[in-house]
């Protein structure tokens, strides 16, 4: 039992939810100035 949760599927869900939120931060950070497809008016 980790963090009081016995089911690995629930733990995996929490891990993925937090991991994906972190992935969003990393993605946005790394591509902060990526300017492909700039066609603003």
Partner 1 sequence: MAVDTLMMAALVLIYLAATLIIGYLGYKKTKNSEDYLVAGRCSHPVIIALSYGATFISTSAIIGFGGQAANLGMGLIWLTVLNIGVGILLAFVVFGKKTREIGQRLSAVTFPDLMCKIYKSPLMQYIAGFIIVISMPLYTAAILIGGARFIEPTLGIDYTTSLILFAVITAVYVVFGGLIAVMYTDAFQGTIMLIGMTVLLALTLVAVGGFTAGSTALTNMADLVPKALADQGMTGWTSMPALGSPIWFTVITTLVLGVGIGVLAQPQLVVRFMTAKDNKSLNRAILVGGPFILMMTGVAFTVGALSNVYFYQTSGKIAIDAAGGNVDAIMPLFINQAMPDIFVVIFMLTLLAAAMSTLSALYHAMGTALVCDLWGRGKECALSMKAHQAGIIIMMVISTILAFLMPISIIARATVMFMGLCACAFLPAFAVGVYAKAPSTKAALYSMVTGAVVWFLWTAFFHAAEAKPLGLCQALFGKVTLLGAPWTAVDPIVIALPISLVVMVALQVQAGNAQLAATAA
Euclidean distance between CA atoms 33 and 41, whole angstroms: 18
The minimum distance between CB 4 and partner 1, in angstroms, equals 3
Instruction: Give the three-class secondary structure for 5.
Output: strand
The minimum distance between CB 24 and partner 1, in angstroms, equals 2
Q: Which residues contact 11 (CB under 8 A, 6 or more apart)?
A: 2, 3, 5
**Residues from 16 through 35 that contact partner 1 (CB under 8 A):** 16-18, 20-25, 27-29, 31-35
The contact set with partner 1 (CB under 8 A) reads: 1, 3-7, 9-10, 13-14, 16-18, 20-25, 27-29, 31-41
């Amino acid at each position: 039992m980790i963090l009081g949760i016995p089911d690995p599927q629930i733990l995996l869900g929490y891990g993925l939810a937090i991991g994906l939120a972190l992935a969003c931060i990393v993605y946005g950070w790394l591509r902060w100035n990526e300017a492909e497809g700039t066609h603003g008016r």
